[in-house]
Amino acid sequence: MIIILLLLLFLYEPSISIFFSGDDWFHLRVSNIANIHQFLNFFSFSRNEQTIAFYRPLSTQVFFFTFQKLFGLNPIPFHIFSLIVFGVSVYIFKKISSILFTSETQSLVATIVFAFASSNITRIYFLSHFQEIALVFLSLLALYSYMEGHRYRTILFFILALMSKETAVVLPAILVLYDWSIKKINFRKLIPFGLVVLPYLYLRFKVFGGADGETYSWIFSPVRALNTFMWYGLWSVGAPELLLDYIGPGLRPIPRFFTDFPFWWRLIIWPLILNIIFILILFIKRIRTVDRQLIIFVASFVVSLCPVLFLPEHKFAVELGLPMVWFSLFIAKLLSENKMVSVAFIASFLILNIPMNILTSQRHYSVGRAIVSKKVYDFVKTNYPIKPQNSYFEFINDSVAYTKEWGSSRQISNSIQGSEMFRYIYHDPNYVVYFEDNPLRVPVNSNKIILSSKKFL
């Protein structure tokens, strides 16, 4: 286990120096508070100045508040804490898998799959996705406590998980599945979870409300849901998230895939196909001896995906935090106790996932946008440390655009979350920065401060 954790530290060490970008700036601004009343606002279901788009006070507002108060805008402590929580989650997962499997080989296989899955990158590199790391950590603590018979401790961790991310609402269903697998269903001991979930659902959806935006539109189409499920399945096996943008009709890669990744495409396609075939063969061989445990692993994977399965415009590998728990256990169950087959699969899995970890760490938006964000932040703090009066900033398109819809000023906007970085720097929640790609009515009788987008890209 120590070797696994040391290897993880080596693999994810580059994430430690990644600067803030995108949603981080909004979360930093909202959590930059001055009194206890504002701190309590984090936990209110009624919307206020400290409200964000989703109800995730523990893993977002409290997380960003605590670390910026202690360390300012030094991202290293943020990332170190995130890695520690992830590492502890891997350790807890190992303990859970040791309870579920009598074979140490199966437990070790499950842990390796869970720890080295390439989808972890999307959670580790982008600080605003700490919410997913916290969700998995607290959900695993709840599950482990439940297995050990600590009912009240389980409820506590369940509540904390709900305060980290809404998808924790699936935990009671998973606990029922676990009880069914060991033939010890007792609905009376699940009553406290219902007493937590029902008020939470009312407060979350009726009082707090849902998120705005087309990407959060529910589409109850079986065909679209199957497509979404397929992608989460591919990402679980080890396909990089970016592959989604390069697959056309008939699941065929578009020509640009081979020109954008002249070296990497072979390391993506052939190992991915090999892993899929490997899993299919194992599953076909196991189909005649399916037991309750295998069923709950598959069912829990599906249940964990239910909160995002009908959001086809919002499918991202980051959502695989909790589902990967069950995918990893499912793989270990398929491999049974055959050590030779287990070694062969782990080798195949790592041959795909380790390079995809490296590729994703190089190409993930959190990395590129963080570099841009740091350049803009340093420029503003050096040249405009005090908010200019009767003037406004505008980022212009002054470089060749990748597409018409994706000009250089839009890239700046995505990196600093629109006006949010400037609002944080100037302590003004209403401050507006303008971008050529996002035309808004500019202020009257104000001087324009033109900023070159090319300078920061």
Listed residues 363, 386, 419: the one ending a domain: 363
What pLDDT score was predicted for residue 320?
94
Instruction: State yes or no: pLDDT of 80 exceeds 70.
Output: yes
Reported as a single tens digit per residue, the pLDDT across 244-277 is 999 988 889 999 999 999 999 999 999 999 999 9
Same domain, 92 and 116: yes
What pLDDT score was predicted for residue 442?
72
Average predicted confidence (pLDDT) for the chain? 92
Helix axes 104-116, 339-363, angle to 10 degrees: 10
Same domain, 296 and 385: no
Listed residues 363, 387, 403: the one ending a domain: 363
Q: What are phi and psi of 211, to 5 degrees?
A: -85, 150
**Which band of pLDDT confidence, cut at 50, 70 and 90, is reported for residue 353?**
very high
What pLDDT score was predicted for residue 405?
65
**Which band of pLDDT confidence, cut at 50, 70 and 90, is reported for residue 402?**
low
Same domain, 336 and 374: no
Q: What angle do CA 238, 240, 242 make, to 5 degrees?
A: 160
Same domain, 378 and 446: yes
- The sheet with strand 434-435 has its strands ordered as 434-435, 391-396, 447-452
CA-wise closest residue to 376 among 435, 299, 335:
435
Same domain, 304 and 200: yes
What pLDDT score was predicted for residue 2?
83
Same domain, 357 and 376: no
Reported as a single tens digit per residue, the pLDDT across 191-221 is 999 999 999 999 999 999 877 766 777 888 8
Range of the domain at 127: 2-363
Same domain, 398 and 322: no
Answer yes or no: are the C-beta atoms of 243 and 316 closer than 8 Å. no
Q: How many domains does the chain have?
A: 2
Same domain, 358 and 371: no
Instruction: State yes or no: pLDDT of 401 exceeds 70.
Output: no
Same domain, 405 and 276: no
Same domain, 400 and 251: no
More confident residue, 421 or 251: 421
**Which band of pLDDT confidence, cut at 50, 70 and 90, is reported for residue 445?**
low
Whole-structure pTM value: 0.94
- How many other CB atoms are there within 10 angstroms of residue 370's CB atom? 23
Alpha-carbon distance of 202 to 180, in angstroms, equals 28
User: If 0-12 CB within 10 Å is exposed, 13-18 middle and 19+ buried, where does residue 16 land?
Assistant: middle
Least confident stretch, 119-128, 390-399, 415-424:
390-399
CA dihedral 135, 136, 138, 144 (to 10 degrees): 150
Alpha-carbon distance of 131 to 115, in angstroms, equals 18
Least confident stretch, 107-116, 178-187, 367-376:
178-187
Same domain, 290 and 305: yes
Answer yes or no: are the C-beta atoms of 353 and 116 closer than 8 Å. yes
Alpha-carbon distance of 413 to 421, in angstroms, equals 10
Residue 70 half-sphere exposure toward CB, CA atoms < 13 A: 11
Same domain, 355 and 370: no
Q: In the predicted model, what is the mean pLDDT of residues 277-282? A: 92
Listed residues 307, 338, 363: the one ending a domain: 363
